[in-house]
Structure 1
Amino acid sequence: MTTPFVQPVRQPLPQPKAETASAELRISLHWAMALFVAMGLVTMWLSDFQQDLTLRFRGLLLGNSLCLLALLVYLLKQRWPLMARWTAPLGCALLIVAGYRWLAYPGLLTLAPTPLILALALVDLPFALATAGLSSLLWLSSLPGPVTPADRSLVLAGLWIAMGLLYARSRPVQQVVLWSWQHYQRAQQLLEEARQRKAELEQVLDELLHANRQLDLLNERLAMTRLMAEEAHKAKAAFVAKVSHEFRTPLNMIIGLVDLMVEKPDLYHHSLPATLLEDLRIVQRNCTHLASMVNDVLDLSQTEAGRLTLHREWVDLCQEIEAAVTTVRPLTEKKGLWLRFQADEPIPTVYCDRTRIRQVILNLVSNAARYTERGGVQVEIEEKAPYVVVRVIDTGPGIAPQDTERIFEPFYQGSNSVWRDRSGSGLGLSISKQFVELHEGRIWVESEPGQGSTFVFQLPIFPLAEAIAPPNRWISEEWQWLERSERPAIPRLPYSRRVIVCDQSGELYHMLAQHFDDLELVEALDEQEVLEELEECPAHALFVNAPEPAQLQGLLERLRPLAPDTPVIGTVLPSTMGQVWDAGAVRYLIKPVTRADLQASLDALGRPVAHILIVDDDPDFRKLLARMLKLLVPGLTVSGVGSAGEALSILRTRPPDAIFLDISLPDMDGWAFLAQKSQDPGLREIPVTIVSAQDLTVQPSTVPQWTITLGQGIPVHKFMEGSLELAASLLAPEPAPAPG
């Protein structure tokens, strides 16, 4: 199912504000708290050097107050962060003024701008201005202390000079921050648009991939349809040839003899009974009708195949129409119809094939006379340069609109029973259309039910000059497929799907190479070679084979990361000789068997043999194998049976030294025989050599287990489609095995 494309809705990003940009420049409150603690500790340390106890006490009080201010800021930060930022500079300003008034130490005046710096660093520029105003009020207040007017003036000047410098410094910084924030927001917006575009592109790519898959499927179906059309074309050509050679000759013989019997009965020196003559006339009419149908089929086939040759000459169409009217007039007179030909002006001669155009005119006039019961038929001809137009008008039953679109198709006789009951072949109009179009003309019908019909065709007076046309002139909607007599000499580029086979035993690689010659098989013995082959060129699939299921799982886990985009298919395929050994046999010989093969099998037994049992359902082969064995081992006793049941009976009564066994047996196959033999401890050690026409390396092997994986997993819809295709393939019948 194709996922509909949904245009994502873009939400406008919020516009950047100065407050947001300023907030990005705020320092952490931890720095302010650390500053207060440091100032408190320094104040308490300096107070130890005071001789005056009052000043020492005030210094300790100021130091503790600074530490308490740090603690207060920390507590407010936990719940009211903004209030903590306000408290830090305001508290610092209050303690600096109080410390100067308490200690009367001029060095504290240098700390007066500190609250302004904190206000700007912790909050923003407007709050720094407010802090400067509050500090000015504190220094100008009439609180008791040693603050002189000169000190006040110096402090106020320092405060506002520092405020001016801070303002001058922070304003460009804020502008830069605001500019940076705007560009950051713009970058975020562009990034979001890029992500949306990427999502759209991925969806478009997915749609293109889906369309490509559909196009591949349609191409495959088109190729199959083309093959079917070619087969149908060949079958039709064969049928036409059969009709031409097998039907025409006997039909001519039958028609000729019947004509003699009907027309010249005195040639036989006997008078024929009237009933016999009537029967012969029936045979004559039907044979003539059958010959006409054969001729129509041959003409239609030749026309469709483009093998019909026109013999053009200058023809007077008026004479041809008069000849056709003369031919059909007995039929119209018999039915009581009028038949007229009208040509009001001189008609020029037309360059055409006289025979084919005469056939077209005769078909149209005879059809009009055949299907008209009342009234009559009129034939008209006129010149419409550069064409000559011929009309055949009748007063018949007319043609239904749904039939006018198909009336020129081969074998189509309309949906009206009136048309179907006239014993026509349904080929006359189709052949007429082909003949007219071969002359670069056109034919059509104008009709309404109950109002009669008008068949019109036009022919060019002169052969039409070829106009300069674009390259699409070679393509036509009515193009007919023709098999080329010569194949193109340009070689086709080879293309095959690349499959990497990782199998240390080599069994899977050789089996695939024998069955699938259209694949590019690449053999890899281990994970390193697989990685090298994948780096050299990607593969359509990676096959992994292991003799045991437990080994297969480990191989898949190691190879899956190496090919994340390649389907990894794991199989458990025992080796050929492994199957033979597991079944209890020692060797496997493929017919035809030579004496060298038999000698090698006897030598492989490793011990002398005196009695050999041959199990094969072919008595002639048993005799041949017995003779060959006796030639190799003089004095050897050879027994032969044709079924597995007889062989088991002989094994229990007279065990041989070795067995030569065929796989294909009438009662049970050789594998079942080996299984029953292995169950008997007394017979288990008798060596068995399999002699069969079945090549295990060619016969389809049975895979007891297989696994497929792809990257991080297989989508559900692909899993279902693949499973259904696999089920259909598994349910398809297998070819019958070769007789053994």
Structure 2
Amino acid sequence: MIEKLRGHFRRRRNVWVILVAIAVMTGLHIAWLHYFSTASYGQIDKGRLDLRDWDAKSKQVLDLNGEWAFYPHTFLIDEHDTSSIADTPLWLTVPGSWENAFSKEKNRTFGYGTYRLSIQLQPGDEQTYAIRATSVLTASELYINGQYAGGSGQPAALKESYTPLNLPYTVEAEPDEHGFIEVALHVSNYIFTPSGGIELSMQFGEKNTILNRVRLSETMQQIVFTVFLSHALYAALLYFMGIKKSSLINLSIVLLSLSIALAGNNDKLLFEWFPLSYGWDFRIKGICLAIGGVAAIRGTLPPSDLRWVNVIRRLFTGIGVMLVVYSLFNQQNVSSISYILFPLFVIACAVIAFYAMLRLHRSGMRRDLFLTLLFASLFNAIIWQYIALFAGINAIFYPVDLLISIFCISAILFKNHLQIAERNKTLAAKLQQEDKLKDEFLAHTSHELRNPLHGILNLSHTVLERDYNVLGHKSIVDLQTVLSIGRRMNILLGDLLDVSKLKGTGIQLHKSEINLHEIVEKTIGSLHFLSDSRPVIVVNEVPARLKPVYADENRLAQILFNLLHNAIKYTPEGEIAVSVQVQNGMAAIAVRDTGIGIAPEKLELLFQPYQQGNIGDHPQGSGFGLGLGICKQLVELHGSSLTVESREEHGSIFQFSLPLVNKQADRNEETRVESDQAVYERYVEEGREGTGSDGAETVGESSFETDANNALLSSPIMEAAKLTAVAREAEEKEARRLSVGDNENPTAILAVDDDPVNLQVISNILALDRDIEVYTTTSALEALEKLRERRWSLVISDVMMPEMSGYTLTSLIRDSFEMHELPVLLLTARNQPENVEAGLLAGASDYIAKPVNAIELRARVRMLLRLKRSVRERLNLEAAWLQAQIKPHFIMNTLNSIVALSTVDQHKMTQLVEEFSVYLRSSYEMHNTAQEISLSQELKLVKAYLRIQVERFDERLCIQWELDGEPDMTIPPLIIQPLVENAVTHGILSRNCGGLVCISIMDNGSTVLFKVSDNGIGMSKEQIQLQLSGKGDSGVGLYNTHLRVRQINGKGLTITSRPGDGTTVSFELPKG
């Protein structure tokens, strides 16, 4: 029984392996989903979610699932249309289709509307949150607390104005002071038939937590995309480089299709890389799925004698082609049929491919575990992809299945590569052994054939000489032909023996002085039997008085013989010449012919043994192709190289060089070595004298800095600075003194570098800005002294300096100056991340790499100067603002009034003292420096101020309050009091008869309107402009209030006034 079970298991082993693999990968996928799962806190009921007891620091991400308020055919945040807001919204379950909201429409998934959700957190929660919209069909805009935060596509009430695009996006969400986050989502869909509205869960959580999840998911997709794409290209390269296997190209298509389809799903990275429309999203994914499915079928089902295999191949190829055509030319809506048809097609292709591998490659599946795991992982990945799609699972991209499949593909390819490499190694060893045996056989055969060949040649020559007068003409010609063929055969046998010797390095050269003219003559004379009476002339153009060359006479004769032999063989008619040119003590020997030439594609193979460089069907093109290869090796043994220049029908030129013998310069090797050694020693000694006593000075940091400085000096900036410095120095200095950085002092920059030339370059570059004066020093210690002497706007310092590094100098500067007080710009030749980080940690404000670019240096300097100036102006503004709240003359006048009342009306004096006490206490409370205070606190200060002024001026000052209740809201501190003080001081009290000040606060629902008006002297339009620009004569209180209000409502103060008709200052703030 046990043996039967074992046999059954062995027969079904591959099935069990696949099932176990799928079970393990499914478990890993479930574990991934569980680890990165989102939570549900509370229940969204009637469009509200209470998170007051939720701990945001728990790093949880919440799914915003539940009942959202939905307003069909309405955009709640629409400045053009506010009349159509529904009194009572519909309640829709999210995620899910909105078709219930459009049940009366012809197409229940088409339309537009607004989803709304109110999230309540703890009041005063200053945490920054984020909302992630993964899939909203098919255009959306997300508003947080009434402000646009992000979106995808362009939702609209009309289809003509609507732009579909369904991309995931993340927006920031900050609760208001009451802890509420109001979410409004405008949605339109006029193209996607299967569904509409919020398709996948929207996620909510702490900003960094959401962004980290998004980054992780995108990183996983990028890794899978890169790996798949690289393997697709690798498989395609293997196919096009010569491995013409259809499985390779099908594998490449499948991987490429999968990589593109994956990049277009989940986080849709494809749309970040390319600006594609929604239509192209459908087209690209449809085409990739169709082509990938067909490639999978054709790759796993090759043409076969089995009828069902061919039927399935044709059927699915046809379906795939139709899907591709449909994807390309479909300009209408995405139908429900196509939404289901594509997944079914892909799953069917995966199942059939899987079955085909089990059925047709059963033996391979049993032997190859990687092949089994490959299809198991791909099948599992495809199934889970569509489970997530149809089940609405919104999770971080899961890459494990796909990476396992790529690992299996790599393992299969690597295994095949190892098998091929091992097989090639075996074949190479076998070929090498056979090549060796071939050479031995040819050498032995050549040696054995030479003796009978010589016998034949000798006998033939003897008969021809002895019986020449007896033989007939035909017999003489036949014997001469036998001798010619025998000589050619002898040459061929000699080449075969030389090839064997050259491979075994058995040839030794015996060099001597050789008369080149004579050896060329002898060689030409020995070739007369090769011309076959053709009209070919061989010319010796080597001068008879040429100096001897230094070479092996026999081997040089062999080289010339083979070259001339080759030229005669492929020159039907014309001229062959041997010439020489003397260059630098070398004789450049050339063999030139006017023959048929050599094709360019055959030049590379010309010198290979057994290769014919010339036209194969030429009547003279016989032989083994050994001669030129032997020539090349013999020339290389002489220390030269054999080159060829040739064009078809224009002949060829073979050229090599040999040294000429020079009697006067002939020295033995020892003398030359001694001479070279003396030159070297003299060079070293001169180098030491040039460096001084310390020869090691050229290494280390100074060497590095010198290289960096040389790079700086060699830049185009240095050249431009040299050309312009002299001509413009006087003019620029005068211009800089006249144009200053602020009203009194010019912008002073201190440049520190141990190289004066670098300082000159920096000065010349920055001299182009007339409001800058550059002071330079070559000492870091001197720079520290200069910092104590005056105020500086910027320090520019080199990093590598002898006394102390730029990092140390920056740290010492930071001991006395904050970054906004004195910026530091570092010049560094080492711009690696670790060097930049060291500079920033030392306190540098910015850095620039050497060699410096003039435009970049000036831009960075201007940026740092503007930053310093902005901080200074801001600090001055705040100081003036705080100082402007209580003027000394106001205090003195109030005290005088108290003293005067002490003798007239002590009751009024007591009231005035109490109001003055309230005013002083409110003015000096710390909440005046806070960002916001309650409206009641601000009004308390205003009322105290007005009571004091009324007591002082009596009937000259009348106050009127128009309060629409007292709204429960917060406002910036000291935002009403300066306006009231300005109305009293500059409006009413400027008139002898006094006047009326009216303070109005009107609650408009979502906003509150504040007005401070008087019937005083008024202002002209020019005066209003001066006040709002900070150039007026009423101090900084009004201007500062205008700036702070503008930061809140984007408009600032509105001043309405005419001379003699009073002034009204108003502003509107959001409530809450």
TM-score scaled to structure 2, two decimals? 0.25
Q: Which has the larger radius of gyration?
A: 1
TM-score norm. by structure 1 comes to 0.36
Higher RCO (CA 8 Å, separation ≥ 6 residues):
1
